[in-house]
Every structure is written in C-alpha cells, then in structure tokens.
Amino acid sequence: MLVDSHTHLLRLKASPEEAVHEAAEAGVGAIVNIGTNIEDSREGMRLAAATANVYSVAGIHPHNASDHSTGNLEALSEMASSGGIVALGEVGLDYYRNHSSADAQKALFEDVVSLANEVRLPVVIHTREAFDDTMDILRCARVPIVLHCFEGGEKEIEEARERDYFIGLTGNVTYKKSETANHLHLINPERLMVETDAPYLSPEPLRGKPNFPKNVVHTASFVAEKLGMGEEEFATLTTRNARNFYRLPLEV
C-alpha cells in the first residue's frame, strides 16, 4: 500500500470520491488532502470526515498570505483544536511567484509555526526559491516538519537531514532535469514520503496531463528503482513514514 501524502482533492478534474476510488484500485490506500486557505481547509475537513482513508491538513498557502488576518489564524486554531486535522499547512515561502509580499509571507509563516508549537501538530512546508529564509524561520519549530515538493540538491538534503525533517517527493523528481533525483541516496530513508500535489506536477510518463492521487505509484516506482529497492519494500517504508509523520491509524 502507498500513501499520497500531499494532494488537493478539491481541485481535481474529477470528484474527490472518484479520485479516492481510482487511487485505491491502484494500491494507494490513504490520501492526505492539503488546505491552501480557510475555506478549502474547512471543506477538506468535511471531506475527510465523510470519506474513508482521507485525512485533512489545514493551512494558508504563501500565495494567499496577503489575505492573512487574526481571524484566519483563529480559524486555523479552531480547526486544530477540533481533532479534524492531522497537520497544519501548507504554509511557507514562495519567492518564485511572489503573489504575496515576502513580508506578508514571513508573518503568516511565523504565526502558523507558533500555532503548531502550541497545538503540537506537524507542519507541511511549501518553499520555492526561498530555502534559506524558510529554514531560518523553521528554527523556531518544535514539531515534525515535512518539506513538501522537495527539489533541493546535496546541500539542502544534508540540512534537512541534520534537522531530522521529512522530505516529500513529488512527480517532478521524475523529470530529466531534477537535481534531487541525483542525490536520493542522501535522504534519510526514515524521513522519506511520496506525494502527487495533484492536480499539479504529473510524473513521467504522464507529464503535461492533469494529475491524480493514483499517479503517486509512478513517482514511487521511479524513486524505488533509483534507490535499488523493491516497490513493495519502498511502499512499506514510505507508508510507515507517512503514518509516523501524520500519526495516521494505519497498519504497516
């Protein structure tokens, strides 16, 4: 069994129910749905409550940082206290798109990390062209961290390893120009997860097409081969890691 440890079920070109069913048929036994604002985080909670093997994460994406407010932070705190979510995120810094100012992104990021420390929930991190600033803010984190959609090289992997952070590998690791693919052996295997980020970043051989949770099998197969592991062994490893990070009720 595999776990898609990061996806956006509410943005797919299919119903969440259909996507979950197709994923299960492909061997994906659990899916973690990620929030990007208060509205879809709440909807994600409702979806997880109504759908077997779907778990919810609540957060505010850095693209939406300019809309951050005390009310939004209170809403995240309420969701965190409800028991309906397994982590906070995705949150972080994105200097590539810059849909929100760097100052606004940092303020939101710091607030969510502080909240996570209070409620003792892990945090799902989005970082793009902002690794150093991201790691600087995360020095305050006292909870488990996953660097979602990781695309760093040797330096970034070593720093993540030193801090005992989890690394989420998405379909872009299968692309020819992936720097991460050349250094997979440096990642702590006990801190490795696979994800789709669907509907984005479809893995080879589906690149350019809409992505779905079922497609995590392609990323898993690619990484397993690179690491010289059998696919079943790799599935067990990454499922156990996802269970441990999100504290999921899975038997591995």
Residue 173 lies in a domain: yes
The predicted pLDDT at position 98 comes to 82
Give how far the C-alpha of residue 132 lies from the chain's centroid of Cα atoms, to the nearest Å.
Answer: 19
Please give the share of the chain, as a percent, with pLDDT higher than 70. Answer: 100
Instruction: Tell me: cis bond preceding 90? Omega within 30 of 0 counts.
Output: yes
pLDDT (mean) for 2-13: 97
Let me know: does 166 contact 193? Beta carbons within 8 Å.
yes
Q: What is the CA radius of gyration of the chain?
A: 17
Angstrom distance (rounded) from CA 226 to CA 211:
22
Query: What stretches of 138-215 show up as alpha helix (H) in DSSP?
Result: 154-162
Give the model's pLDDT for residue 251.
87
* Structural domain harbouring 146: 2-24+45-50+59-246
Position 179 pLDDT exceeds 90: yes
In this prediction, residue 240 carries a pLDDT of 98
> 205-234: per-residue pLDDT in tens?
999 999 999 999 999 999 999 999 999 999
**Is 36 among the domain residues?**
no
Residue 197's pLDDT band, with cuts at 50, 70 and 90, is: very high
80-114 per-position pLDDT tens digit: 999 999 999 999 999 998 889 999 999 999 999 99
Residue 39 placed within a domain? no
CB 235 within 8 A of CB 29: no
Whether residue 189 is contained in a domain is answered as: yes
Provide the pLDDT confidence category of residue 72 given band limits of 50, 70 and 90: very high
The pLDDT > 90 percentage for the chain reads 97
**Residue 121, number of CB atoms within 10 A of its CB:** 25
Judge whether 34 lies within some domain.
no
- Listing from the earlier edge strand, what are the strands of the sheet with 123-128? 2-7, 28-34, 54-58, 87-94, 123-128, 145-147, 166-169, 192-194
Average pLDDT, rounded, for the chain:
97
Coil, helix or strand at residue 14: coil
pLDDT classification of 67: cutoffs 50, 70, 90? confident
Domain-located, residue 251: no
Q: How far apart are CA 209 and CA 80, in angstroms?
A: 34
Q: How far apart are CA 30 and CA 214, in angstroms?
A: 10
CATH of the domain at 137: 3.20.20.140
Which pLDDT score, from 0 to 100, does residue 252 have?
83
pLDDT computed for residue 245 by the predictor: 98
Give the pLDDT of residue 99: 86
* pLDDT average, residue stretch 15-20: 97
What is the domain count for the chain? 1
Query: Please, what sign has the CA dihedral across residues 204, 208, 209, 214?
Result: positive
In a domain, 149, yes or no: yes
Predicted TM-score of the model (pTM): 0.97
| pLDDT, average across residues 29-50 | 98
Mean pLDDT of 189-214: 97
In a domain, 30, yes or no: no
